[in-house]
Structure 1
Amino acid sequence: MKNIKNISYAVAAFLVTAAASCNKQLDEVNPHSATVETAYTTPTGFTGLVNRAYQDLHQIYGIEDGMFLTEAGTDLWFNDSRGTYAQQYTQYVGLAPGQAQGKNHWTACYRGIYYCNVGLHVVDGANFTNQTEKNQRLGELRFLRALYYYHIVEQYGAATLDTTYKQGAIITEKLRTAPEDIYAVMIDDLEFAKANLPLKWADAEYSRASKKSAMGLYAKVLLTRAYYATGADRTAWFTKAKAAAEDVINNRGALNLDLYPNFAQVGASMYGTTRSQNTEAMFVLAYSEANNTLNAYTTTNGNRIFKWTIPKYTQRPGMSTSYVYGADNEQRLMPTWHLLDLFNEDIDARYNACFQEVWIANQAWAWKGNLDNSKLKYQKAASATDSVIAVGDTAMYFTKKVWGGRLTRRYMEIDRNELYKNPQPGKGASLQDDKVYVTSCYPGFKKFLNPNITNTTRTTDYGDAMIMRYAEMLLIAAEASVQLGDQATAMKYVNDVRKRAAIPTHEADMEITDPSKVDINFILDERGREFAGEQMRWYDLKRVFRSGVDWVAYILKYNPDMTSIQPFHRDRPIPLAELQTLSNPVQYGQNIGYDQPK
């Protein structure tokens, strides 16, 4: 054990909101009882408690704060229009212990852990007569506990570890447990989960953790744990991670897993009536329109992840409000030049599946008389002032290409040289300084936009949140192979991902033929291409770059606008609200670089 002690954690009290059943979601129950031992005395009641343990995932996946903590602040994203919204997490400006995003994430994870611990404590009193069913419910709880702890450790570092429940206990004295020791609990939980969870649940319960969910998280946890090790121990961990990922790969038939033939199906599979048949997903968080009370904290807001990376288009030349292009009232993040540059759009279908460059006019527009717009300051050369945009014409073209002609073309146009400062292949580039117009015009990230929108006025949607999918197993196996010095094997797994991503007839162009090119930087690039927007990037960079100095250097190399980032930002601050509940805040301690408790 590390030289950081462990003490139990418990939540002072809990209150569950009852919810009705839904064929896509998880029912839960409301125990109005003096003790949890008497609240969960039947398998049905216990299943309600298990369902409650899932709900805090809605505080992580599909909401704004979750996106900021897991995607923003990296090499791939910057604030729309050079803005400052949530800049503490998107740009590290004034990141401090008192901010809500970090507190909410901490609270959600520990609340989820609390319910898992309650379930593990009372399961023997739930009177299961079927041991398999009992172990399946325990498997769900232990899977979820491992997932919540993964978020805690990778966001905050050493933290409180608790695996027990004590009726009525209010713990005010806590100590922190080293990440390696928390990982030991996570691994033990996942070994139980993958041994006991079913291959598949009924279609109406497709969003429950299954055997493939546990196997996938197990591989991810082992890979991350390997980076904490050194020497021979490090090699052993990477070997375990590779074997765990290959276990999924080699058994994909039995697990009913594979890559979709078309990359665009990854996003599309989150919508519609066939979600339960998703063959690439290994774990999703379901969102329900029919019964939005089951969306926990987001309720009628649903899953809004598709909204925050789309540039404004409504009320622009030739464009009226129509959400067939997605609701654009909450611009948050825009792509860095590095993210766009990762793709060769001539051979890689992922670019056009992820990014929108062209918007077609749905109303007529004349430039004459409209060039003095006080907000956007449209500019056109004299030769273009008499031009018009007709319905069906191109209204906006925001492209990574070198295109030019912003002043002379009849449509709105911003190309890479107008949006970024001297963008060059393989290098980072700052955004232009314009905060009003130019930096609000960029290729829209549409990966998880509903491809079959029927309601063109609704500002939200109810697609599932993708948490884990089969492609990640291939890239986990590739990453572990790189770290083991086996670049040939890494190349094989990378090519499996890249061949699926190829534009038809370009499969050979997408294949890597020189194993020496498949190093850790290539793996990060490939993960950027494959998983951009899937709430992984912050964890990817923290995992690979073990020192704050190296972590900062990589981010600044590709996102030079991140001027406030410091090495200590690699760990988030322990929330002030947590420290204020402790009788020993000084002993518990704050992460280096932030205001220390007194």
Structure 2
Amino acid sequence: MRYLTYIICMLSLAAASCKKFVEVPTPDDRIVSDDVFSSDAKASGAMTAVYGNLINGGGSFINGFGTTSGGLSSDELQKFNPSAGEQEFLNNALTPTNTTLRTLWSSAYQSIYYANAILEGVRRSQALSAGVKGQLEGEARFVRALHYFYLVNYFGSVPLVTSTDYAVNSTLPRSEPAAVYQQIRADLIAARDLLPEAYVGSERIRPNRWTAVALLARTHLYNKEWTEAVAAASNIIGSGVYQLQVDPATVYLKTSREAIWQLSPNTGTLRETSLLRPTGTTAPVPQYFLPSSAMATFEPGDLRRRKWVDSVTHQGTRYYYPAKYRNTTTAVTEYYTVFRLAEVYLIRAEARLNTGDLDGAAQDLNIVRTRAGLPNTLATTAPDLSTAIVAERRRELFAEMGHRWLDLKRWNLVSAVLSPIKTGWQATDTLYPVPNDELLSNNSLTQNPGY
């Protein structure tokens, strides 16, 4: 089962290619043999190992740090006794030497490297069946698109790495967001056409066609491609594969029918749980907690307030913290949920609103509200529905992979919301700085304004 550890320098990559190409962590060297793509089973094992690295490796956009960094950068999370590095996120005063910042960048490029290695190995192989070739290419393209989505939204212009060629990659300049999004769309359209509707196996831990379409719908939304976003979201909803869980407490279980794509951990306690839950037993200390402004957004009777928020009292003060993931045992009952149906309804609601379909937007919004135990929205005009969708996304997607931070930025609300509550806020804080190590190792890179 050595193929199910972390994938690294694949098949015909020379030793130089295994070195850093846009600064990445040193790869695990337990899969280095030339026979990785010599059979369907081995190649599929390599792809599975990519997902293992995402969920069981260190922190990343996809594994905890997207939630905490985006939450601190926005108005979503506060930190009890923050470290100097965490205070930088809270104050939107990041320095290019911040270690979490570097981890976000390098872990994303490590996963992109793995995806590129899979793509190159699959294309060269003469031993793989056509079906497995298509499946693996689709999955690798999806993984690459997913990481570029977060890189471009957090950093803006970023190097566009599409091969494992160290000589080329080590001197790449930053590509403009339009070019990055063009690559994201191309990868997702290819993944959509290559991947089957059925999942590999009985669980939802390998991307299927609808996983690629979910990210494509989000990509269209972020680029104000409203008609395309409506179409993509409608295809997922109309597939009949997914349904909202009746009880919000079951949304993140590994058996959730709402899940579009999940990651399966080695242990029952997810990194997200460890990061957000209080520590200590006799006198629990809060770690990350929800500010009063976030708690005030919940309407009376909202089941999400009851099922997804917990609290602890420390030194006479009550702290409320996100508790979407609750398991603290070794038994694996929850999977990390990267895409789910509720977001798709909210994507379609917002896109419908912007195409002038106010009734359709309200219908989608009400589907999410009904599951939360709330009455239908009273909003009927476009401005009121827009306000309602902004509020609903905040309640439904809080403390979930940085949605609030990215939403405020794409709605052009970030300065209006954060400048009153963030000391020293400036508009250039909407993008994170390029890590200093990257600038030192690649003279073609430039720093973002304001840093």
**TM-score interval, smaller chain:** 0.7 to 0.9
SS in 1 for 2:370: helix
In structure 2, relative to structure 1, the CA distance for the partners of 1:339 and 1:164 (3 Å cut) is: same
1:287 pairs with 2:292: no
Contact (CA 8 Å) 1:80, 1:333: kept in 2 or not?
yes
Q: Which position in structure 1 is the counterpart of 2:184?
A: 186
- How far residue 513 of structure 1 moved from its aligned partner, in angstroms, is 5.4
Distance 1:491 1:205 in 2: 32
Determine which of 247, 250, 253 is the counterpart of 2:238.
Answer: 250
My pick for the range that moved more, 113-122 or 511-520, is 511-520
Once the two structures are superposed, the pairs formed by residues 165-564 of structure 1 within 5 Å of their partners are 165-166=164-165, 169=167, 171-203=169-201, 206-226=204-224, 237-251=225-239, 253=240, 256-267=241-252, 269=253, 275=254, 277-289=255-267, 302-311=269-278, 314-316=281-283, 328=284, 331-345=286-300, 347-356=301-310, 437=315, 440-450=317-327, 455=329, 463-502=334-373, 509-512=375-378, 514-516=380-382, 518-535=384-401, 536-545=403-412, 550-556=413-419, 560=421, 562-564=422-424
Distance 2:348 2:299 in 1: 24
- How far residue 474 of structure 1 moved from its aligned partner, in angstroms, is 0.5
Determine which of 22, 25, 44 is the counterpart of 1:47.
Answer: 44
The one-letter amino acid paired with 1:351 is R
Distance 1:62 1:213 in 2: 15
The one-letter amino acid paired with 2:43 is F
SS in 1 for 2:97: coil
RMSD of aligned alpha carbons: 2.8
Q: What whole-Å deviation, never above 9, does each CA across 1:264-284 have from its counterpart, x for those lacking one?
A: 2114x1xxxxx2x42100111
Q: Which position in structure 2 is the counterpart of 1:230?
A: none
Identity of aligned residues (%): 25
Q: Which position in structure 2 is the counterpart of 1:232?
A: none
In structure 2, relative to structure 1, the CA distance for the partners of 1:444 and 1:158 (3 Å cut) is: closer
Moved over 6 A (4+): none
The one-letter amino acid paired with 2:414 is W
Distance 2:41 2:82 in 1: 51
Higher helix share: 2
In structure 2, relative to structure 1, the CA distance for the partners of 1:261 and 1:445 (3 Å cut) is: same
In structure 2, relative to structure 1, the CA distance for the partners of 1:85 and 1:108 (3 Å cut) is: closer
Contact (CA 8 Å) 2:211, 2:261: kept in 1 or not?
yes
Q: Which position in structure 1 is the counterpart of 2:10?
A: none
Distance 2:122 2:201 in 1: 25
Q: Larger radius of gyration, structure 1 or 2?
A: 1
Distance 1:169 1:556 in 2: 43
The one-letter amino acid paired with 1:492 is Q
Q: Which position in structure 1 is the counterpart of 2:14?
A: none
- How far residue 17 of structure 1 moved from its aligned partner, in angstroms, is 4.7
Distance 1:552 1:43 in 2: 51
Distance 1:333 1:556 in 2: 21
- How far residue 515 of structure 1 moved from its aligned partner, in angstroms, is 4.0
Distance 2:423 2:332 in 1: 35
The one-letter amino acid paired with 1:264 is A
In structure 2, relative to structure 1, the CA distance for the partners of 1:178 and 1:513 (3 Å cut) is: closer
In structure 2, relative to structure 1, the CA distance for the partners of 1:76 and 1:461 (3 Å cut) is: farther
Q: Which position in structure 2 is the counterpart of 1:57?
A: 54
Contact (CA 8 Å) 2:85, 2:98: kept in 1 or not?
no
Q: What whole-Å deviation, never above 9, does each CA across 1:58-91 have from its counterpart, x for those lacking one?
A: 3326755333223222122222268866111133
Distance 1:46 1:497 in 2: 39
The one-letter amino acid paired with 1:67 is T
For structure 1, list consecutive stretches of 5 or more residues without a partner in the other structure: 1-9, 19-29, 227-236, 270-274, 291-301, 317-327, 360-395, 397-435
- How far residue 568 of structure 1 moved from its aligned partner, in angstroms, is 0.9
In structure 2, relative to structure 1, the CA distance for the partners of 1:52 and 1:356 (3 Å cut) is: closer
The one-letter amino acid paired with 1:12 is K
SS in 2 for 1:441: strand
Q: Which position in structure 1 is the counterpart of 2:432?
A: 572
